[in-house]
Structure 1
Amino acid sequence: MNCDMKRSISLYSYQDEYYDGKLDLEGCLRETAKTGATGVELLAEQMIKKFPLPIETEEFREQWFGWLEKYHLTPSCYDAFLENRIFDNRTLCLGEQINMMKRDIRLASLLGFHNLRTLVSTPMEVIEGSLAYAQQMDVRIGLEVHAPFSLNSGWADGYMEMIHRTGTKYFGFIPDMGIFCRNIPDVVRDKARRMGASEACIRIVDDSYAERLAKGFTKIKYDLNLGKANMEYRMANGMKEMMDAIEQANGNDADRWYANASFTYSWSDPQDIIDNIDYIFHTHAKFYNMHDDYTETAVAIPEVIEAFKKAGYKGFLSSEYEGGEHLRDIGVNSIEQVRRHQEALRAAMEK
């Protein structure tokens, strides 16, 4: 069955090749085009040297749009970071944070983006204070729904209330497919083994994750103190019991690392996509390891794509490779990983 979804790539996926000097910004765009993707997601602070100054120049923008034309790419999403701790002695005040958000909205617009990703750490009042400017610049602000957060939760309800209260069409959600993990990624497990984790403790962690999946994850609550909210989430999902079992099995630092890492992943019902489709305009198609048969053993790609189809989603699914950080000690091939993932997305979309 054909659908109107489009494929994009977040240049975050190519970070290892970029930092190793194998790819420059144009090279990342060239590799994106080779996969058949038609959209590009940009982390300007990561990929544009001396950010944000070059974006202000006509010379850079002419080069940027020239590349997009050359490789037949559309700007899909601009990833912003609200750096509210730029001073050692204080956090930026509300007005300063809103001005920083407005700066990022303007930069996104200058580069042709109509969607901007902001992080879950962005205070709601900063988003609300930026909505009028977002509408003026025709750039929608999307809050990334990254594990352990989830749609259809008390955490998301506060943002939904703000959407309904303001009537805005310029704020919504950007789900990250890391919230649809049926298993802990195999690259994480293999890294734990290389670090010295025992098979007994790996089994304890994997069984604990499977138990969370079977029972249903207790969802994280909204709290401005994300550290507190995250710890409460972990404890509600069996962290103490799992850590106690690891200690009883004489676990070491690698075992404890794997146990803590397991809470980086979570499972949400793909029905959440269907229920919230009116507020979703971009998606991070997170993945961790694509095998040579085009399967991803953690993220439930077919189920999630099917939910997007049922919902009538017409936005981009943007490949976001996050397995490389677990392979740097043995070698990363992001280009091949992204190619495989794009092929898996294409096949699932066209099924």
Structure 2
Amino acid sequence: MLDFRQACFFIARKSMIERSIIQSRGAKNVVLENGQPGFQFQLRNPNYRGVQASLIDGIDVTLNGKSYPCETAQWTLQGQTYSLQEVLSSTSARWQLDELATVTIPVDAPLPNGIYDLRVCVYIRRPYIPGPFCRSPFRASAKIVVVNSGVLTGPQLSVSTYSYTGDMYTLMTLEDVMADIADMGATGIEMLAEGNIPGYPTPSNAWRDEWFGLLEKYQLTPTNLGTWVDTAMWQTSDLTVEQGTAQIRHDLQLAKSLGFTSIRPKFGVTTMELDPHPIWQESVLRSLDLAEELDIVICPEIHSPTPIKHKVTQDYIEFINTHKSSKFKLMIDTGIFQTAPCDDGHEGIEVKGGKRPPFLEPLNVPMVDLQEILQHVYFIQTKFFEIDDQLNDLHIPWQPIVETLQNAGWKGWLSSEYEGRREPYRGRDQVRRQHALLRNLLK
């Protein structure tokens, strides 16, 4: 029977351990006590039960083909760090099933941003298994992504919770997502109101308290709140201007109460080129006073298949120039710069007769078009689909995008929006890859 302290621990636990032995979070460069560079990673206990630390009989580590002697690895268990000999002689330390072990090895030099092949064999002695079989080997391998964090002086890095679609609330909690974001050195979190806020449109006070507690714990800043104005909510009638206005004003209040600085109201569309429903202008206009009062920016999204030189985008810019409000600006989705088609990851969209919907075709918008409107851009969703093992994006040209932003002195948020295949944990791995890639370019 659990005592009160143990019961509180299980009730308060808000994160999940990955099924794989080698965890994707926690892979990073460190400096050892002797000043030598080290590399650190985290492991799940591969056994079916927790063990006394003295039953850990070492670990073989191979990193990108180089082997590291078992005795050089340090073990951190329950907040305390031990050498192998200290582990073997320990009388109180344990490796519990629901706790991670951190393993640290000395390396010749810090690892640059990139993807590395890590192989381990963990040895655990099991005294109830006889003879030579007592020392049980548990082998695992993984491609781990190293992202070296640091202060950025230009554009800042954020992550959209949309990137974890399918994993969030099944394999990952909100805290797991926020821990991932912080672990890769990003400082912003973008959220989908109806995707990730339990109880929307009126989240509970308990959830709000949890939200602010996690923001403080992981030192994250709320960036953009993705919202919707579903103009075709009913098959028999469209939303009126009054209803659209009420939706925007509600979401502005919600965003303010949760610390966000912008909302993206996605209006229903009337054409294949994403022309927004005609109520958008009047609904936004009637909400600008509240946006000004709350200091929240309303950001319509420029999303494929709508290029920058298109009536939709130009109408938004005309609205900005006409009403001269600093609380209406543009959000750019980098899918408009896509140079190659991607047919993966678009759940609910079928390619019929061999023809893709227009919004799946690459637009390849030129950088000069982006440069011309950057003064009106508040937020950029760094949409992507796949980054390979050499940190090459197969669809989005990041180098010219980043160069355009840096040359213009643009310093807003770049928010990762992964929209590729949804195999378990793939989103979290791909987001780490994108941040490693972007960190290399944002130096």
* Alignment partners' CA distance in 1, 2:198 and 2:343: 34
* Aligned-partner SS, 1:117: strand
Shift of 1:156: 1.6
Does 2:265 match 1:118? Answer: yes
Instruction: Report if aligned partners of 2:330, 2:376 keep a CA contact under 8 Å in 1.
Output: yes
Post-superposition offset of 1:18: 1.2
Amino acid at match of 2:250: R
2:161 aligned residue (1, 4, 11): 11
TM-score relative to the length of structure 2: 0.59
CA RMSD of aligned residues (A): 2.3
Matched, 1:80 2:227: yes
Match of 1:256 among 333, 336, 353: 353
CA distance, structure 2, for counterparts of residue 269 and residue 43 of structure 1: 29
Counterpart residue number, 2:91: none
Give the match for residue 109 of structure 2: none
What is aligned with 2:177? 28
Matches within 5 A, 1:137-156: 137-156=294-313
1:277 alignment partner in structure 2: 374
**Superposed displacement of residue 8, structure 1:** 0.4
Asked if the contact 1:282/1:316 (under 8 Å) is kept, the reply is yes
Q: How many Å apart are 1:83 and its aligned residue?
A: 2.3
1:151-198 CA-partner distances (Å, limit 9, x unpaired)? 233322212121111111111111000000111137479x9xxxxxxx
2: distance between equivalents of 1:265 and 1:43?
A: 25
Q: What does the per-residue CA deviation read over 1:19-74, in whole Å, with 9 as the maximum and x for residues that have no partner?
A: 5x1112222111111221110000021112221221xx433222111101101110
Tell me the number of residue pairs that the alignment of Structure 1 and Structure 2 aligns.
Answer: 280
**Does 1:291 find its partner at 2:413?**
no
Is the contact between residue 160 and residue 415 of structure 2 (CA under 8 Å) also seen in structure 1? yes
User: Per the alignment, in what secondary structure is the counterpart of residue 208 of structure 2?
Assistant: helix
Distance 2:342 2:356 in 1: 13
Residue 324 of structure 1 contacts residue 332 of structure 1 at CA under 8 Å; is this kept in 2? no
Contact 1:186–1:289 (Cα < 8 Å) also in 2: no
Aligned-partner Cα distance in 2 for 1:67–1:291: 31
Q: Indicate yes or no: 2:404 matched with 1:311.
A: no
Q: How far 1:263 sits from its partner (Å)? A: 4.1
Specify which structure has the higher proportion of strand.
Answer: 2
Deviations 1:241-273 (A, max 9, x none): xxxxxxxxxxxx967345447744311111222
CA 93–11 in structure 1, closer or farther in 2 if over 3 Å, else same = same
The residue type paired with residue 129 of structure 1 is R
Q: What is the aligned-residue identity percentage?
A: 28
Higher helix residue share: 1
- Contact 2:387/2:430 (CA < 8 Å) preserved in 1? yes
Tell me the residue number matched to 2:438: 345
**Counterpart selection for 1:169 from 326, 332, 353:** 326
Question: Residues 128 and 150 (structure 1 numbering): CA distance in 2 closer, same or farther, change over 3 Å?
Answer: farther
**TM-score, normalising length from structure 1?**
0.74
Using the TM superposition, give the Cα deviation of residue 4 of structure 1 relative to its aligned residue in structure 2, in angstroms. 1.5
| Cα distance in 1 between the residues matched to 2:325 and 2:359 | 36
Aligned to 1:92: 239
Q: 1:74 to 1:262 in 2, by over 3 A?
A: closer
On the 8 A contact 1:273/1:311 being kept in 2, the answer is no
Are residue 184 (structure 1) and residue 341 (structure 2) matched?
yes
| DSSP 3-state at the match of 1:317 | strand
Matches within 5 A, 1:215-254: none
**CA deviations over 1:305-334 (Å, ceiling 9, x no partner):** 111111111111000000025xx5xx6611
Match of 2:199 in 1: 50
SS of 2:180's equivalent in the other structure is helix
| 1:281 to partner: Cα distance | 1.0
Larger RCO of the pair (alpha carbons < 8 Å, separation 6+)? 1
Deviations 1:185-214 (A, max 9, x none): 37479x9xxxxxxxxxxxxxxxxxxxxxxx
Which residues of 2 match residues 323-342 of structure 1 at below 5 A? Answer: 323-325=420-422, 328=423, 333-342=426-435
User: Unaligned 5+ residue runs, structure 2?
Assistant: 1-151, 269-275
